[in-house]
Structure 1
């Protein structure tokens, strides 16, 4: 080959090599496969209902969970992980919490799917000492560990934190009153302990409280005929039937227990709500089902409990007690007669979510039922669009953030009814009574027909201030012997949560007002219409010759006094110190004790009421069983 050609070929070969080298740079070797890792979508700190913006207040002292939502990348694939959560408080103290249980992660699972299932999130129980009053801290997911493979890198855990604070809430005070009746087969029907437990458990899990101060009263036989107690026909109106009549019974018991009898204070805190339970009995008229109702913003409610299982024993009481904290039936905007799923009048057309759901259609809010192993209730996430607010008639029931916040801070919510309980840790001061000469009045008003009745009145030695006002007012007016008005007091009228069977709105009054010593008559006015009146006797009734005429049968005589016909109530005691109300509104001087009462109690006392004044109690000792 000529020398010139060799030189050219060498140059071409060199250029070819350089070209191939440059081409290799344009087509680099494939990168190494990605490392297995997880990504953190959000940390949600929740007690009952919450969104990812943490807009629902956390109640100090209430069980709290952090839900952590993780996604594995394709390299990691489906995996089961645990983790540790680091909590930093305002003083820069760190607490490390282990996840409650492993969680199985699957690539492609959406954030909504994770929030909708308790089993799809990595869950951490916040230590109780970190949920105290005014606690504030920041949470960071510190480590993620795959089972059998050690720690897994988290792409964004260090940068994805959640900060929370806690607020105080007053305790909820509840007195459960078992309403007893005898069915047509002569069976004594009484709610049982399981019914009480279901209600208190549900309230503790779903309400914005960290403390439920509850008690169960002695069973109280209803004086209402069964055909009236379970009557929902249109001819049974004015609050004289069903739950309306039962609530009147509860108001009388509450007045006796809270304000005492004029010869001693009552044992019950005036901030206590009363809930009457009536056990369903298929043998009773109309199936023995008492449809519940409540004076809105009042202190008494009543409703049914089922024969077996959890039927009506939990959420139903939560619904009725929600009315007592001012909540109405959620309804669509513009609705006038019917709420979601057929709920009756007493509507809240400002409810923010469609169809009574506990969230908007984007499922921003997810509920959490922390469960109760003592009753077999599991921990469960509550879906925002398939669960419904407890104030609707749409099952399954939970509580929305709207209702939750209103029960806490609404115009007649927990804080309004007990402002002293909003201190550190929900601490509360003793009730501040005013001593003096007062009269407690229980009345029912048909607000539609402007009619009604003073159901009960008794003079008492103390009063408790009203903490909030209702939209409707009535007037209690005292007159002297000449008919001159000497005192007038505006009092709250709490409209019942449901209209009666005739379509009328029924209102309840439970008020304690000063009693002028020269008063001869008490008038009740509503909308400037005289509703009812009571003549005030200056001579108190007296009970005498209280005795037994047979096993469990007590009879007595009375000294007549001017005024309406006498009624009687009875209390019983096992120790002579603590007294249970066992009967009210008796219209005959006779009381029959059950075999259980004869075993339980050693003394009974009878008090007569003439429509205004109570007699001194007549006491009889019972023989030992």
Structure 2
């Protein structure tokens, strides 16, 4: 089958599009001044409160997964103050309107300067342009959550009054973990005799990406390395051979008691770009079918698809694994990818349309040196595309969340 038309096939190294780099913000520091309010304002204006996991809209319409790391962002209006001031924040958290309150301090300070006002959409795409709060695990239990701004504290000054800060009520939905068995496939180069095996960093990046991007509270992960039953040069059918080997290992392990909800993925080192095995899923099931396996390459990206970190195994693996949860290709870039997902809702495979409704959020991973960041929804693309700078859209987030729940219910092993 033609590589471009096969909706199970992964990206080639030359398939990613090139789009302009995102802007990086520069922090500035000014001495604190006493707060002064502009015009008839009676306090600092609050423009919105956004409760963010992997992707979110300002109206908090993307479902939230219980026990998944969650950030709250509070957006303030610079035009309601007459002089620059530095602020910190405090939230009030409740599980019901009349329930007991807990209070949470922010993790940053915010400079509010009327001479440097940003539009709300620009604030959402700049992590330094909001007061940010990391919700504790106690606030992330399944059920209702009411979030309200409780205090604005001027650095070196008194609490500041504020207006427009209506409480935000959301629901945290319980969901299963994602269960992944990642199998490194070791092979020998028949020309050089060199043996190639995925480095530990590629397993780590893949696992981390799933925990940060996928709609799950946790990743139940295991990994092994085995000898591959194939060798380079790799062809289009090599991933078919890899998947057959992965499926055989899965069948054996499931029969021996492994959780049947576990998805299996094969990881093949690209030998510093010399032996790139294009990824592939064994199928795209219309319903829950965790025995669908996939495999893909790993290596140092060196700018592949806009990736500048230490491994492309993360988003590439998340793409192939997405097929095993029933996700198709949005069809972007045109000509490089089939458009097998006829209902993908955003232009050009993006996270958001031009209205900038959706913004991607990455909580980062300190162990891998990955800082938290936000992602412009019009310059980042869904993980099921072949485009650069990939993350999960709200559409893909919700579809995988539903499929995980269906698999959990249908394939849960019997309780002894």
* TM bracket, shorter-chain basis: 0.7 to 0.9
Alignment match, 1:138: 146
Structure-2 change in CA distance of 1:432 and 1:92 (3 Å):
closer
**1:292 paired to 2:300:** no
- Aligned equivalent of 2:380, options 376, 382, 387: 387
Question: Which aligned pairs between 1:139-538 and structure 2 lie closer than 5 A?
Answer: 139-157=147-165, 160-183=166-189, 184-217=191-224, 219-227=225-233, 230-232=234-236, 241-259=237-255, 266-282=256-272, 287-294=274-281, 295-297=283-285, 298-307=291-300, 309-331=309-331, 339-340=332-333, 342-345=335-338, 347-409=340-402, 413-419=403-409, 430-431=413-414
| 2:103 maps to 1:96 | yes
Say whether 1:121 aligns with 2:130: yes
TM-score, with normalisation over the residues of structure 2? Answer: 0.82
Mapped partners of 2:260, 2:94: distance in 1? 41
Residues 391 and 367 (structure 1 numbering): CA distance in 2 closer, same or farther, change over 3 Å? same
The match for 1:14 is: none
Shift of 1:125: 1.2
Question: For 2:313 and 2:168, how far apart are their aligned partners in 1?
Answer: 37
> What secondary structure does 2:76 align onto?
strand
1:341 and 1:393 mapped to 2: Cα distance?
10
- Give distance in 2, aligned partners of 1:33 and 1:207: 45
Any idea what SS the aligned residue of 1:281 has? coil
SS at match of 1:330: coil
Q: Secondary structure at the match of 1:185?
A: coil
Q: CA deviation at 1:195?
A: 0.9
Shift of 1:346: 6.2
**How far apart are 1:34 and its partner, in Å?**
6.0
Secondary structure (helix, strand or coil) at the match of 1:114 reads: helix
TM-score of the superposed pair, with normalisation by structure 1: 0.56
CA distance in 1, matches of 2:343, 2:53: 25
Deviation at 1:88, TM superposition (A): 2.3
- SS of the residue aligned with 1:288? coil
Q: How far is 1:343 from its partner?
A: 4.2
1:428-474 Cα deviation digits (max 9, x unpaired): x53579xxxxxxxxxxxxxxxxxxxxxxxxxxxxxxxxxxxxxxxxx
What SS does the corresponding residue of 1:231 show, helix, strand or coil?
Answer: coil
| 1:55 and 2:61 correspond | yes
Higher normalized contact order (CA 8 Å, seq sep 6+, divided by chain length): 2
Contact kept, 8 Å, 1:279 with 1:307, in 2: the verdict is: no
Aligned equivalents of 2:243, 2:415: Cα separation in 1: 26
Distance 1:357 1:95, change over 3 A: same
2:107 match: secondary structure: coil
Deviations 1:551-573, CA, capped at 9 Å, x for gaps: xxxxxxxxxxxxxxxxxxxxxxx
Secondary structure in 2 aligned to 1:226? coil
Distance in 1, matches of 2:46 and 2:399, equals 33
In proportion to residue count, which structure has more strand?
A: 1
Deviation at 1:197, TM superposition (A): 0.7
Q: Is contact 2:359–2:374 with CA below 8 Å preserved after alignment?
A: yes
RMSD of the alignment, in Å? 2.1
2: CA distance, partners of 1:34 / 1:119: 28
SS of residue in 2 equivalent to 1:123? strand
Shift of residue 299 of structure 1? 2.5
Distance 2:365 2:252 in 1: 34
Q: Distance in 2 between matches of 1:162 and 1:74?
A: 22
Q: 1:101-160 CA distances to partner (integer Å, 9 max, x unpaired)?
A: 1012233211011100111110111121111122x1222111112222222221223xx2
Distance 2:128 2:100 in 1: 30
